[in-house]
Structure 1
Amino acid sequence: MTRILPIQQHIPDILTALETSRRAVVQAPPGAGKTTRVPLALLDAPWLTNKKIILLEPRRLAAISCATHMADLLKEKVGQTIGYQIRLDRKIGPNTRIEVITEGIFTRKIQTDPSLEDVGVVIFDEFHERNIHSDLGLALCLETVEVLRPDLCILVMSATMDASAVSKLMNNAPIIISKGKSFVVETIYVPPQDRQKRVVPIEMVCARAIKKAVSETNGDMLVFLPGVKEIKTLYLLLENDLDPSLHIFPLYGNLSLKDQSKAFLPSRKGERKIVIATSIAETSITIEGVKVVIDSGLMRVPCFSSQTGMTRLETLRVSKASADQRRGRSGRTGPGKCYRIWSEYDQQLLKAHTKPEILSVDLTPVVLELAAWGVSDPGQLKWLDPPDKKSFEQAKNLLKTIGALDEQDRITFHGKKMVSAGLHPRLAHMVIKADEKGHGLLACRIAAFLNERDFVRFNKKAVDPDIRLRIEIIEAFATHKKIWQKEFQVNKGILHRIIQTEEKIAKNFNIKPTKTDIEKTGSLLAQAYPDRIAKKKNNKNNTFLMATGKGAFFTGINSVSLNEYIVAVHLDGNLQNAKIFLAVPYSKKNFEQDFCDCFKIVQTCFWDKNAGRVHAKEETIFENLVIRQKSISDIDPEMACDILIREIRKKGLSSFPWPKRLKSLKERAIFLKSTGRFSDLPNLSDKILEQKLTIWLKPFLAGVFSLKQLGEVDFKAAFLSLLTWKHQQIIEKNAPTYIKVPSGSKKPLKYSNEQGLLESPVLEVRLQEMFGLTSTPKIAGLSVPVTLHLLSPAGRPVQITRDLASFWKNTYKNVKKDLMGRYPKHFWPDDPLGAQPTNRVKSKNR
């Protein structure tokens, strides 16, 4: 007998909403039955007129499980009324009405048939996961409704999505909310710390929680961890430490469907199972018998960097919505318990919803899909979250590089062949180009391998990143040859999928079986990843420079790191220096043949620090890689001047041997400018002169390539080009080089000292030469008195003053007494203002 599920009481409302509005949003908690009961209820809707129902699921296992369950409810086999299609597997018959397909399959379907003529309803299930294909599929579906099929119904379902936002996107579609049949779930917070508040590895905390739950609860357990590594670690911790009646089953995406299905088998009487899973078990699929959930609170997601052009896996905190989804798994059939491996305080810090993939993954496939749809600007479609602009433009540029888009952002014939392949555009481009040169089958094999995770697991720390090793193993496996596994182990389940995918790709591109030349692997991958061609930085370590200008490195010496050129395919995505996991050697000869049309020859001038001069070289470059270089004597004078000026700025103008008269003119000009009374004069400070070197000095540097040659430059002419004749006259008049004192001598004015320019220029003069002068000499339009350094007959300072009148009146008498004692042969009058100035020694009696 089929049990009644909570969603069934809302079926009439859903049918009415779709019949009248053609769009609807259903929000129902896990276990409400929306995934299986809603599509079945739509089968007999009269307004569907026997058209098909498309149900989109985010994962392969969910698609198969859902189709199988619905077929069981109808007491049929899969492939009759209910069918499914996932990658590498299709069970759909001529009478199939409900097709359960993964979101990527739907993208291909709507691209092939934009009007979806035989479809009446498209259901987006578990939409809160916000996979990139679900966002893309909904955007394309909404345009199909607006342009081609106003009668097509769209139904979006989830437990924790932002229902109001989805409704608004679909012209305020009706929202149907099912409360579901909820059971009490006790939530226990277990922070990952020991008694000393030290952080403990998440696997160890989960192991403790499992042992605690074993003694405190009944029923099966579902444990959520971020990835395969943590699942395997926890498995090893528990393997020999639990009662034989407890069975452990891993569950993650790269497991074969056969191994995944083991986690769903009901436990036998007297036994319990522990399913250790990634986020794959969060939604869509129900694991019967689960009464306990242990949630690490972590997830591992791909994050694309527009700065590096690479994707790296990052471990992040789950959102509140995901945590609630996971928690709900323990309360589907009765009361349950949820152990959260974080604190109640951390719970408050969780984000409300998971960041959608469209904001964090590589957009290259999406941009190509949109181009095939006829859209170059994502703003032409409706999105819950529009694609990131920077990532979108970067994806466009890559597609232009590989010939998928033209300069007007339209899809090319080459791009159309790529989009129909169902591969990442990089790999589709590689397969097409390889087939043109007779290496199509090898490219299919490489593409199939790169669509899976690495199937080789090394027994020691030293791993071999060479992709050729993997291709050799695939070849041996495909031809039923023995694989030597002394230093590593292989995952045969993944190998089976690679062989299947390889055959499918070859069929899609109509590539016939041929012999493969494994040494062409580097050339083929270079077509897919031209930006990841890398050159060894030097011969002493394992560091490389990629074509993007970013660094990359191997953790140790291996068969790939010894080569001058490589193609680095799988890296960790570090912004400046990425760790290489998978790569292949790329011979310089093949590189030059494959990309000769992309090489550029440029003349580069550079500063030779040791020689103190400009040198030039001719370089053959590919993006940021220098392929060849040679010294040349024919130096571009313009480039040489720019480099020389840059070096002059580094050293500073003060370090150059200015002619004495020129230095004096410069100092006097700066002094007058600083008074604020001569605004017409240009600013000739070192800072401004250095900024304007290209204006006043560059025209005089023709043929000058070294600092030594600067002595040959006519600095005077260069400097005077900044001053008009009028400017020069103003300087000479208002900032003289000397002052004529009462004795008739011409004494120089000093405008600077070791500390720099002086606020008041200094006039050094013997005291006797100033007799008869009543006031301090002034310059700068009689606005600035000079600073007098009055000297003894021996040239030593006896007084510093800017007020000569005050000196004669108040200080001279005391100074005179001292000087008369030290210099008795000199004339020291009582009245200096009435005395004759002199610069000669006189008898005091004369």
Structure 2
Amino acid sequence: MPAPSAPHTFDLARIGAGLPAVALIDELNLAEAAPAPRLVVEAPPGTGKTTVVPPLIAEHLAKFSTGAADAVDTAGRAGAADAVGREPGRIIVTQPRRMAARAAARRLAALTGSRLGEVVGFTVRGESRTSAATRIEFVTTGVLLSRLLRDPELTGVSGVILDEVHERQLDTDLAFAMCRELADLREDLSVVVMSATLDAQLWARRLGDGPQAPATLLSVAADTHPLHIRWAPAKERPLDARGVTWNFLDHLAATTVRAVEENATGDVLVFAPGAREVDEVASRVRRRVESSAEGGSDPNTAVEVHTLTGRTPAREQDAILRPRTDNERNRRVIVSTSVAESALTIDGVRIVIDSGLSRGTRLDTRRRMSGLVTTRASKASGSQRSGRAARQGPGVAYRCMSEADWASLPEHTPAEVATSDLTAAVLALAVWGGDESLLPEPLPAGPKRQAVENLVALGAVEEGENALQVTETGRAIASIPASVWSARGLLDGAALLSPARAAEAIAVIESDQRAPGADLSALLRQLRRSQDARFSQDRRRFASIAREFTAADEASASTVPASAATGSEAEPRHTLGPDDLGLVTALAHPLQIARLRSASDSEYLLASGTAASLPRDSSLQGSPWLAIAEVGLAGSRAIIRSAVPIDTETAELAGAGLLHTEDTASFERGRVRAVRRSSLGGIELSSTPIQAGPELVRRAIAESVRERGAREVLRPSEAFEALRARLGLLRRVFGRPWPDVTWEQLSVTLDHWCPEALDRIAKGSDPGEVDLVSALHTLLPWPEAARLDELAPTHIDVPSGSSIRLDYPDPGVEETSPILAVKLQECFGWTDVPRICDGRVPVTMHLLSPARRPLAVTSDLASFWANAYAHVRAENRGRYPKHPWPEDPLSAPAARGTKRSGR
């Protein structure tokens, strides 16, 4: 058997030449490191950690795999001996964005002197450049997640390096938790976490075994260059109800041109919040630059304007990111989204223009909607952006805000787990079946609950007693490299139409391109005309995936696009039409099926129950029904970003799971009115009056009681309220089995304890004349009910012989002592207040004057007679001379009447 070929050796000195991260080579101390180390690398942007650390780890793991003598684990870690002699596996390096993964792979491949895809490669959604010889593979975090779910052991992988973890992207958090758990099961797997901020100690504890045994922490400082900050506030606020204002984009462009004029050298990097603003600012800068050139500017200082976003073609990205040559004299203005904020180094940049704005996904739990929102960036983000100007030399950063605005910015950008839709994350964790506690922070309870509800509605999970049970549909959805909504649309669309047509629809929905006027059909036509390479790749890829889940019958085979078989860009024989696109969009996003509101051309009600509006320039205005693929959030408004018209039949077909019919009734002015409503989620389709049955009538009156109050609707009698108060005291003192008779409880159980009374009210009887007392008696427990009058008597006998009514507190208040209001003279000789509820509750005495005005309130009669009575006697004996006021009330006979009456 031939010996395996030796793995490629990386020249670390050459790769790290001129980079601060080269110091990590000595710092790691390879001779004493574990065979599969867990490391946290703290290094600011621009130090070269993304370039140096992957080959450094590859070389370290190769030493142990070849059985080198100096690879003995001096700590005696279990599994070290097994690691010696193994063929080294691949090193996976994650990047938060496709652009960064591709750029990092190209740079490292160039430094190793190999072609991209040989020793160093990359894999991003829709594109892969790897081979059997690849030892270091750069991937997006989403690609790594897919592999972990498909192959939980990561077969053939020796190390995982999670870069830019400080950005706290949701996929990165998930990948960290899964790799952390896998490292406990596979002691030959090295896990490295790299952060550009000062939270490295926290990551070391997470990656290790807590505060007592953290992972090894390596750090390197950046070569610092001077950075000058200039403040360039706009005259008007940058955001209004519709988003970023045109005036602010003008200001951003003007500041950019001013920066070019004020600084003789250096390229300019401009940060705008989103792709639309990038295009607008670039267009404005071009017009200003061209105008300046026509005015006779020096041709040697010509300025090129580029845009850099996630949808920029790969060839243009590569041209912007590759090192500049001496022959390239033109200065560049590169207008970018946040893709250039941290993971990329753009050669030649010495000037940064920061809009101070950021765009990210936000979950609105109230409206059950997730969309892109533009907000003010954090100080941490602003510092990262400004630092791009001083990576390679002295730089200057223009911040389009005042110093006071800067001071008011939040310190840090919130982690995605706190702001994003968690549906895909919860599904991934359910499929993984691992330890959720290893996440950097717990999933928020409210969004997590909503995510579970979404997954149940998608048919992806079923709720068990202790955990979610993933269905076959759920596993299929999790395996598709698209959003969970698009994945479900692909599966259902392939079954109803064909894999090819469903795939093309999902490729449009998942496209990074903006739909003109929010019209998804217009975007489809635009993508076809432009022969967009990524769209074509996605169409073929999704078609291939769909065919795996669809029966390969002749009907499906007839619609497979020729491009899938031949690699050409020919259209499928049965082309996706607008109706098909609408159906797949509605299948993918059933809660975003929407109907036009009456008296409006642009306001729509979604099946989720929330409202959204079309842009003013949209050609879709007036469409009766829409299937919405994307919604944006602008303050309190929801804006439809992409949609396609559908008809009622398509809406009901795609939203079949949301269709329901409900009979409802209301009780107003003594009458019950009932209707039968058919709805698609929150959209009412029809409403028809019906005759209400007994159950519906009872629910209507009970609901009226809950909304308007029992006293207004039922008008209970004094006898009812007296009995309810007595039972309320017994409940507070003894608890169960005495019933809860607060109105909060009684109002939700009306149809259980007084159904006959409700029936009489529904037939027109005056509620005040209906016998509710007998109904309340049905709640009394047996045999305790026999002691009701003993435990909570209605009257108390006093020394005068009178039987005085007790006033019990309302069950809705905290007071527990009933009140005995009695004339003072009737209590002569009484030293102890009466007690009820088996002696547990003393009665509060309200001692009254002969005119029945209050003289004293006490729960201690003996103290009253000894201390307060003399003062009360002195004040009232002249006022009521006909009534007895003895000096010694304890020996005097109790009296009901006057002295003369003798009673």
The answer to whether 1:582 aligns with 2:582 is no
Moved more, 237-246 or 500-509: 237-246
One-letter amino acid matched to 2:759: A
Q: Deviations 1:117-174 (Å, cap 9, x if unpaired)?
A: 3222222222222222222222111111111x21111122232251111111111111
Secondary structure (helix, strand or coil) at the match of 1:26 reads strand
Partner residue in 1 for 2:457: 401
* 8 Å CA contact 2:373, 2:634 repeated in 1: no
* 8 Å CA contact 1:641, 1:705 repeated in 2: no
2:99 to 61, 66, 72: 61
Structure 1 residues 111-150: aligned runs within 5 Å: 111-147=149-185, 149-150=186-187
Partner residue in 2 for 1:704: 761
Q: Distance in 1 between matches of 2:720 and 2:135?
A: 92
The answer to whether 1:392 aligns with 2:409 is no
Secondary structure (helix, strand or coil) at the match of 1:167 reads helix
**CA distance 1:93–1:401, change in 2 (3 Å):** same
Moved more, 322-331 or 552-561: 552-561
Moved more, 309-318 or 394-403: 309-318
TM-score relative to the length of structure 2:
0.69
Q: Distance in 2 between matches of 1:194 and 1:307?
A: 31
The answer to whether 1:13 aligns with 2:66 is no
The answer to whether 1:80 aligns with 2:127 is no
Partner residue in 1 for 2:217: 175
Partner residue in 1 for 2:504: 445
Q: Distance in 1 between matches of 2:265 and 2:771?
A: 96
Moved more, 702-711 or 46-55: 702-711
Q: Give the gaps of 5 or more residues in structure 2.
A: 1-13, 66-86, 209-213, 294-301, 548-555, 562-572, 725-740, 781-787, 806-820, 823-844, 854-875, 883-899
Partner residue in 2 for 1:791: none
Partner residue in 1 for 2:386: 327
The answer to whether 1:436 aligns with 2:495 is yes
**CA distance 1:689–1:522, change in 2 (3 Å):** closer
One-letter amino acid matched to 1:24: L
Identity %: 26
Q: Distance in 2 between matches of 1:80 and 1:667?
A: 86
**CA distance 1:637–1:339, change in 2 (3 Å):** closer
* 8 Å CA contact 2:705, 2:713 repeated in 1: no
One-letter amino acid matched to 2:454: L
One-letter amino acid matched to 2:541: K
**CA distance 1:235–1:713, change in 2 (3 Å):** same
Secondary structure (helix, strand or coil) at the match of 2:490 reads helix
* 8 Å CA contact 1:203, 1:230 repeated in 2: no
The answer to whether 1:98 aligns with 2:151 is no
* 8 Å CA contact 1:123, 1:157 repeated in 2: yes
* 8 Å CA contact 1:532, 1:567 repeated in 2: yes
One-letter amino acid matched to 2:206: L
Q: Distance in 1 between matches of 2:526 and 2:593?
A: 24
Partner residue in 1 for 2:282: 235
Moved more, 170-179 or 115-124: 115-124
* 8 Å CA contact 2:228, 2:397 repeated in 1: yes
One-letter amino acid matched to 1:33: G
Q: Distance in 2 between matches of 1:441 and 1:582?
A: 21
* 8 Å CA contact 1:187, 1:337 repeated in 2: yes
Q: Deviations 1:266-288 (Å, cap 9, x if unpaired)?
A: 37555311212121112222211
Secondary structure (helix, strand or coil) at the match of 1:241 reads helix
One-letter amino acid matched to 2:120: I
Q: Distance in 2 between matches of 1:656 and 1:416?
A: 54
Q: Distance in 1 between matches of 2:416 and 2:363?
A: 10
Structure 1 residues 464-503: aligned runs within 5 Å: 465-471=518-524, 474=527, 477=529, 492=530, 495-503=532-540
**CA distance 1:558–1:256, change in 2 (3 Å):** closer
* 8 Å CA contact 2:232, 2:255 repeated in 1: no
Moved more, 87-96 or 264-273: 264-273
The answer to whether 1:570 aligns with 2:607 is no
Q: CA RMSD in A?
A: 4.5
In the TM superposition, residue 206 of structure 1 has moved relative to its aligned partner by: 5.7
Q: Give the gaps of 5 or more residues in structure 1.
A: 458-462, 478-491, 671-686, 737-758, 761-779, 789-802, 810-833, 835-846
**CA distance 1:256–1:781, change in 2 (3 Å):** closer
One-letter amino acid matched to 1:391: P
**CA distance 1:136–1:32, change in 2 (3 Å):** same
Q: Distance in 2 between matches of 1:719 and 1:703?
A: 16
* 8 Å CA contact 2:795, 2:804 repeated in 1: no
Q: Deviations 1:614-667 (Å, cap 9, x if unpaired)?
A: 122233344444434432224325634752783798498589999xxx89x999
Q: Distance in 1 between matches of 2:543 and 2:26?
A: 47
* 8 Å CA contact 2:162, 2:193 repeated in 1: yes
**CA distance 1:187–1:439, change in 2 (3 Å):** same
* 8 Å CA contact 1:468, 1:521 repeated in 2: yes
One-letter amino acid matched to 1:240: R
The answer to whether 1:526 aligns with 2:568 is no
TM-score relative to the length of structure 1:
0.73
Secondary structure (helix, strand or coil) at the match of 1:334 reads coil
In the TM superposition, residue 235 of structure 1 has moved relative to its aligned partner by: 2.5
In the TM superposition, residue 727 of structure 1 has moved relative to its aligned partner by: 5.5
* 8 Å CA contact 1:206, 1:294 repeated in 2: no
2:546 to 506, 509, 516: 509
Structure 1 residues 146-157: aligned runs within 5 Å: 146-147=184-185, 149-157=186-194
The answer to whether 1:260 aligns with 2:317 is yes
In the TM superposition, residue 804 of structure 1 has moved relative to its aligned partner by: 14
Moved more, 173-182 or 617-626: 617-626
In the TM superposition, residue 787 of structure 1 has moved relative to its aligned partner by: 9.5
Secondary structure (helix, strand or coil) at the match of 1:314 reads strand
Q: Deviations 1:230-287 (Å, cap 9, x if unpaired)?
A: 3233323322333541222121112212233343363755531121212111222221
Q: Distance in 1 between matches of 2:744 and 2:442?
A: 48
Q: Deviations 1:476-527 (Å, cap 9, x if unpaired)?
A: 53xxxxxxxxxxxxxx37x442222111111122273362453244433333
Q: Distance in 1 between matches of 2:534 and 2:146?
A: 20
Secondary structure (helix, strand or coil) at the match of 1:410 reads strand
* 8 Å CA contact 1:57, 1:126 repeated in 2: yes
**CA distance 1:33–1:235, change in 2 (3 Å):** same
The answer to whether 1:417 aligns with 2:502 is no
Partner residue in 2 for 1:369: 428
2:704 to 646, 649, 653: 646
**CA distance 1:572–1:784, change in 2 (3 Å):** farther
* 8 Å CA contact 1:572, 1:580 repeated in 2: yes
Q: Deviations 1:304-335 (Å, cap 9, x if unpaired)?
A: 22332322222233334333322222222222
* 8 Å CA contact 2:310, 2:512 repeated in 1: no
In the TM superposition, residue 350 of structure 1 has moved relative to its aligned partner by: 4.2
Partner residue in 2 for 1:247: 304
1:47 to 64, 68, 72: 64
**CA distance 1:498–1:214, change in 2 (3 Å):** same
How many residue pairs match? The answer is: 711
The answer to whether 1:165 aligns with 2:202 is yes
**CA distance 1:500–1:703, change in 2 (3 Å):** same
Partner residue in 2 for 1:223: 270
One-letter amino acid matched to 1:467: L
Partner residue in 2 for 1:211: 258
Q: Distance in 2 between matches of 1:657 and 1:358?
A: 51
**CA distance 1:637–1:70, change in 2 (3 Å):** closer
Secondary structure (helix, strand or coil) at the match of 2:102 reads helix
Moved more, 515-524 or 414-423: 515-524
Moved more, 384-393 or 256-265: 256-265
* 8 Å CA contact 1:404, 1:412 repeated in 2: yes
* 8 Å CA contact 1:615, 1:635 repeated in 2: no
The answer to whether 1:383 aligns with 2:439 is yes
